[in-house]
Copies of this chain bind each other. A is one copy, B any other.
């Protein structure tokens, strides 16, 4: 198993889009599709929404299991996908795992749309 980077940590300013015209190559398309795949599930969207709505900016798994009607392993599974996509950040403190939105990640996705 490999946890691939997918979403660049944050690409400086506007600078790195080859041309924009020659249309997406097969490889770039594959990479970008990974991010949208992570967003292509209702429960994952709700997870992002809940984490984002939290005033503290972070949520532990136990707070996320109830709102959705899913088992804990399934929630952990979805969270891993969101982390691998570069959308969520995971920090373990004690027994708990706290998930928070990666700053600017959603904007980066919006950027992906603009550079199609």
Is the beta-carbon distance between B116 and A113 smaller than 8 angstroms?
A: no
Q: In chain B, what residue has the closest Cβ to A37?
A: B40
- Segment at the interface with B among A4-12, A46-54, A72-80, A91-99: A46-54
Copies in the complex: 2
**Interface check A102, CB cutoff 8 A:** no
Complex interface: chain B residues within 8 A of A39 (CB): 33, 36, 39-40
Contacts of A52 on B, CB cut-off 8 Å?
A: 116
Which residue of the partner chain B has the closest CB to A19? B53
Q: How far is the CA of A42 from the CA of B27 in the complex (A)?
A: 8
State whether the Cβ of A21 lies closer than 8 Å to any Cβ in chain B. Answer: yes
Question: Once bound together, how far apart are the Cα atoms of A113 and B46, in whole Å?
Answer: 12
A29 interface residue per 8 A CB criterion: yes
Which A residues are within 8 Å of any B CB, using their own CB?
20-24, 26, 29-30, 32-33, 36-37, 39-46, 48-50, 52-53, 67, 106-107, 109-110, 113-114, 116
Give 24 CB contacts A-B under 8 Å.
Answer: A22-B53, A23-B46, A23-B49, A23-B50, A23-B53, A24-B50, A26-B42, A26-B46, A29-B45, A29-B46, A29-B49, A32-B42, A33-B39, A33-B40, A33-B45, A36-B40, A39-B40, A40-B40, A45-B116, A48-B116, A52-B116, A106-B113, A107-B113, A110-B114
